[in-house]
Amino acid sequence: MKAQLPDASKKWWKETVFYQIYMPSYADSNGDGYGDFAGMTLKLDYLKTLGIKGIWLTPFLKSPKVDNGYDIADYYAIDPTYGTKADFDNFLAAAHKRGIKVIMDMVLNHTSTDCKWFQESKKSKDNPYRDYYIWKDEPNNWESFFGGKAWAKDTATNQYYYHKFDVRMADLNWANPKVVSEVLNILRFWLDAGVDGFRLDVINFLNTDGITKDNPMKDGKQEHLYDIDQSGVKNAMRTIKSAVSAYKDRFIVGEIGSDKIEVLKQYQSEDLLDVVFNFNFGSIAQFSAKRIFDELKSMEKNMSNYPTLFFGSHDMPRMIDRLCDGNPERAEALAALMLTAKGVPFIYYGEEIGMHNVTAKSFDEIADIQGKTHYNLAISKGKTPEEALVEGNANNRDKSRSPMQWNAGEFAGFSTAKPWIKIGDYSQNNVYSQENHESSIWSVYKKLISLRNCEPVLQYGRYSKLELSGDCISFIRNYNGESITVVANFGKSTTIKLPSAAKILLGNTSLPTDHFLIYRIVLK
């Protein structure tokens, strides 16, 4: 057996099950149809009961919310939709009182065009803020990740500014030291306020090297070779990490815009990011036991530190629909993998009650800017509204952003008013109907989280076995003389023969399809 981790390698985030809260959709305290800090504060005891020890909050800073807060207008102000700075401080203190850490989403790639910096920048070519953004007389061929061109002309100076996402989200110029200085001040402000770390949005998209070559085209689509992963990105990350590391016990997780392990692994190291989101694992489009197993093996082989483990987020369809065809038993088996494999697990809100996708039945039901953009592009190409709606829904991230379903009452107990976004079917899929039922998906999540929280083997253990037999994934993790075996069976029914010293922790030796077994062995 390999030597175990020294105590110096112990980190609170390796012992933590994180829970992502999509800010507008979790809990509304004032009846305006949007989630807020006061509402979330009221739900902290729920999260503590579930066993959550870390929260990732999506953006809550002042924003016109073209992209639901990922377009920041003021990095120092709480958006009024979510409350006040006092509401934030109260939430943070209440979370910490319950032993729950909080990391916040930070968007450093671009700002809203409403941001004071951009409003100044566009006034004239010699404005002190001009070089905070990227301006050109003539654009190159780079395309927006939301569709269409990544350049917009501003009539005040007759130059184009670069926007990798929506036209109202202008990219910052990271080659400008003043921008870097501004960003570090922002990070220190929120660290001083008490946040426990950051989730850095599309952090490998930073424009550190300016506008370079045209991107090549392949099979009619643009390959993003020069507009992401620029050579200066790692130095920018080192600067960020150094500033954050000046504060004790802080944590950085980076969103790297790739599902390729070769790209992801290069950004995770002691001087770069603590962990990155492993989209190679988390964004698998359809279920495959072999694909999931292969990615577990790949992460073990390639990641220098811990990988991240997740099956859902605000940018992808709900796990139970995408990977489980609506089957809660498979969702439970996938949850068992996520919460016992080596890595840092992230649960997406509502996953614990089996929340499903929502689908827009008209353009008016689409809230997401990405979905709207693709709908409008389809219309501009001569497609019918019905055809455009298909394309809009295919790219619509609203699927997984519907309000949290607390009970079977009006508006699912999320709000006393109509929510800002379409709500799903909450008659059975709600917290109230599940939290006191032993066989509910909620109860399974709670047991799995509790097991991970109290078993150092599941926090720090190394793999001594990681195998696939048919569609049955199994692994053994060892730590400090103890061993825990996990078997997740996605294939034909089977029976597991236990070693003589085994003690079942969860599950049964009889394993039908989409069931799991977890047992412990005390090593001699």
Catalytic site positions? 201, 255
Query: Roughly how many angstroms between the first and final C-alpha of the chain, as a whole number?
Result: 12
Q: Cα-atom radius of gyration of the chain, to the nearest Å? A: 23
Helix (H, G, I), strand (E, B) or coil at 348: strand
Which residue reads 């960020």 in tokens?
240
**How far apart are alpha carbons 212 and 372 in whole angstroms?**
30
Reference 369, options 163, 133, 223, 221; nearest CA is 163
CA atoms within 13 A on the CB side of 509: 8
Residue 463, token pair as written in the block: 């793999």
DSSP code at position 417? S
Kindly give the residue spans of alpha helices, DSSP state H, lying in 33-167.
37-42, 44-50, 85-97, 116-121
Strands (E), 293-343: 308-309
Angle subtended at Cα 516 by Cα 513 and Cα 520, rounded to the nearest 5 degrees = 150
Cβ–Cβ under 8 Å, residues 338 and 522:
no
**How far apart are alpha carbons 52 and 19 in whole angstroms?**
7
Q: CB count, 10 Å around CB of 259?
A: 17
**How far apart are alpha carbons 251 and 241 in whole angstroms?**
9
Strands (E), 379-524: 462-469, 472-479, 482-489, 494-495, 502-507, 510-511, 515-522
Q: Which amino acid is at 324?
A: C
